[in-house]
Structure 1
């Protein structure tokens, strides 16, 4: 029997109402006393006072703080090595950009990263990779899972609904991603980690079975964030993004290349998840039900996304990750996906 490999999991995981105002006590318990903070654009005015007060109360020293609006890898390398040597942790407060930048800076300096997302738009806040600009091209680079994840559901609730819909789309994608990974193993291209699959399945199943009246319900948002966080753990166990990113993500990444201004990651992924669940003939009723009942499809229909762009993205998908073997890496399934985009009744109301 092969010995199990070591995995990292967050030491701090706090999700709930008012969590941001308690950030000082969470860090103090971990012995963190000197930090650098990166805020997203405009967020110092919104959250700076509460954060600084909480840290000051626990006698945690803020060595530097600033707003950050770059994901250029060269900028982040410069930033990382300009941080004071006594920095014990990097905190990022905001959306995907500042989370990825802070995560990579902390990784370069080999110090803990504290992820404080202000929206639930994707599982990026809990992942061990960062999406950065390398030579002008968006590239996924290795980093490390966050040491701490702190999510204030009150803040998530006040974010624009499009970010919640994006998180819903990204969360549902685990359904098709897991099925792709299992198929990949059957075809002899990969080896599935059963524990990673179990974690990813538990994450998505817990979310889709959550009762709610509104997508801004406290319980619904907590389940969404908890499940997105669990996705990061599944990837850490697997040693790759395979449990949470399959053919549906390849379509979204292809759209990123095709479109001058792509939609939010989770919106593109949500549509692609519906497409692939029908191609795979796997849990498509559940996927369609969640996307319809949450209002995801209604929101997506307002974006005027083009059918032809999705068809081009399906053709391009295998080239995004040629080393993988998802359903879309086979021509017959690509043809089935394109036929669905052209003829499906639901998609006819969502795409133009």
Structure 2
């Protein structure tokens, strides 16, 4: 059994209505004075421009991220060659933060994460998600050193992204079930601390799911849960506490080019199906509670809502076993055929 490695986790996290105002103070306390600011064009207008004004003397340059890819990282590295950089700051959504994490890791400097949407746990995780040749790819990176999650900014983001963040967070429930299953069936190393950190806020969100996810109290709970989820990955040394069969399903949809769902929407639907399978085969879980929670925040619970047919859902479930074959999940354990998977999709009302 492999022991959990010493984890690198954020040194400073602030989740509040005024987190953006702490940028200069936190940089000074961290001894950072030469940062490169990455942002999206909309995010820059929404928040980046004002934040830059607060730390104008410490910003060497501003770059707008166009795509989440290694090509984009290399282009940025070339643009800032020989600059005396001591940090990278990302102000934006997943694309900006993922490129920022990779760039900071390559330059071996701290990354400052300032999310403008809360659509997944990438705000804090040591993982970057890229698409290379239209195929999804996950890269291991250093986690953010500083996270400033400003609820005033996040509250203004499109509500669809907040609902996707809710889906990503509660999918930790089935991810941890799969991790426990692998521990029991294959002897895989397991961290109770990481598992609890991932699943406790997910269960809390299910019990207190609100129709108004933009309510500050609910939003704060969601963001705190996503941050804890990201940190749990650092503690575990892998994405295990936050990625199981429901993520394989989502990756399969991306790989096959099915639908137009956001990552959090896809894993939320995947979590309904996987919770049903865990409940059916092992008597653990409550798939209806997962579905009800998603419905309560008006997140997608059916294939049609993300532009996917029943046949495509089943194809993705079958194909999911070809993704990350070493990651043992409920899909590998029951080795269900097409008929069984079609039944699961029908029983849960996904399609």
TM-score, normalized by length of structure 1? 0.91
Query: Alpha carbons of 1:142 and 1:232: their partners in 2 closer, same or farther (altered >3 Å)?
Result: same
Q: How far did 1:75 drift? A: 2.9
Q: Which residue of 1 aligns with 2:72?
A: 75
* 1:189 and 1:324 in contact (8 A); partners too: no
Separation (CA, whole Å) in 2 of partners of 1:317 and 1:299: 18
Query: Alpha carbons of 1:45 and 1:292: their partners in 2 closer, same or farther (altered >3 Å)?
Result: closer
Q: Matched residue of 1:138: which SS?
A: strand
* 1:21 and 1:50 in contact (8 A); partners too: no
Give CA deviations for 1:295-331 in whole Å, capped at 9, x if unaligned: 2247975444321111000000110111121111145
Q: How far did 1:293 drift? A: 1.6
* 2:90 and 2:112 in contact (8 A); partners too: yes
Query: Alpha carbons of 1:48 and 1:199: their partners in 2 closer, same or farther (altered >3 Å)?
Result: closer
Query: Alpha carbons of 1:201 and 1:133: their partners in 2 closer, same or farther (altered >3 Å)?
Result: closer
Query: Alpha carbons of 1:129 and 1:81: their partners in 2 closer, same or farther (altered >3 Å)?
Result: farther
Q: Which residue of 2 aligns with 1:310?
A: 313
Runs of 4+ deviating beyond 6 Å: 1-4
Separation (CA, whole Å) in 1 of partners of 2:203 and 2:348: 26
Q: Which residue of 2 aligns with 1:138?
A: 136
Q: Matched residue of 1:87: which SS?
A: coil
Q: How far did 1:140 drift? A: 0.8
Q: How far did 1:167 drift? A: 0.5
* 2:2 and 2:189 in contact (8 A); partners too: no
Q: Which residue of 2 aligns with 1:63?
A: 60
* 1:80 and 1:106 in contact (8 A); partners too: no
Separation (CA, whole Å) in 2 of partners of 1:269 and 1:187: 24
Q: How far did 1:117 drift? A: 1.1
Give CA deviations for 1:215-235 in whole Å, capped at 9, x if unaligned: 111011111011011011111
Give CA deviations for 1:29-49 in whole Å, capped at 9, x if unaligned: 222111100011333222233
1:176 is the counterpart of 2:174: yes
Q: Which residue of 2 aligns with 1:284?
A: 287
Query: Alpha carbons of 1:36 and 1:146: their partners in 2 closer, same or farther (altered >3 Å)?
Result: same
Q: Matched residue of 1:243: which SS?
A: helix
Q: Matched residue of 1:190: which SS?
A: coil
Q: Which residue of 2 aligns with 1:194?
A: 192
Give the stretch that moved more between structures: 173-182 or 26-35: 26-35
Separation (CA, whole Å) in 2 of partners of 1:211 and 1:319: 34
Q: Which residue of 2 aligns with 1:97?
A: 95
Separation (CA, whole Å) in 2 of partners of 1:6 and 1:332: 35
Separation (CA, whole Å) in 2 of partners of 1:94 and 1:201: 26
- Report the count of equivalent residues: 344
Give CA deviations for 1:137-176 in whole Å, capped at 9, x if unaligned: 3311111111011111112111111101100110011000
Q: Which residue of 1 aligns with 2:15?
A: 15
* 1:314 and 1:334 in contact (8 A); partners too: no
Unaligned ranges ≥5, structure 1: none
* 1:106 and 1:112 in contact (8 A); partners too: yes
Separation (CA, whole Å) in 2 of partners of 1:262 and 1:85: 39
1:325 is the counterpart of 2:322: no
Q: CA RMSD in A?
A: 2.3
* 2:4 and 2:191 in contact (8 A); partners too: no
Q: Matched residue of 1:308: which SS?
A: helix
* 1:252 and 1:265 in contact (8 A); partners too: yes
Q: How far did 1:208 drift? A: 2.7
* 1:94 and 1:118 in contact (8 A); partners too: yes
Separation (CA, whole Å) in 2 of partners of 1:114 and 1:156: 16
Separation (CA, whole Å) in 1 of partners of 2:240 and 2:142: 16
Separation (CA, whole Å) in 2 of partners of 1:90 and 1:320: 32
Q: Which residue of 2 aligns with 1:30?
A: 30
Q: Which residue of 2 aligns with 1:203?
A: 201
Query: Alpha carbons of 1:299 and 1:18: their partners in 2 closer, same or farther (altered >3 Å)?
Result: farther
Q: Which residue of 1 aligns with 2:183?
A: 185
Separation (CA, whole Å) in 2 of partners of 1:298 and 1:314: 16
Separation (CA, whole Å) in 1 of partners of 2:216 and 2:125: 23
* 2:211 and 2:296 in contact (8 A); partners too: no
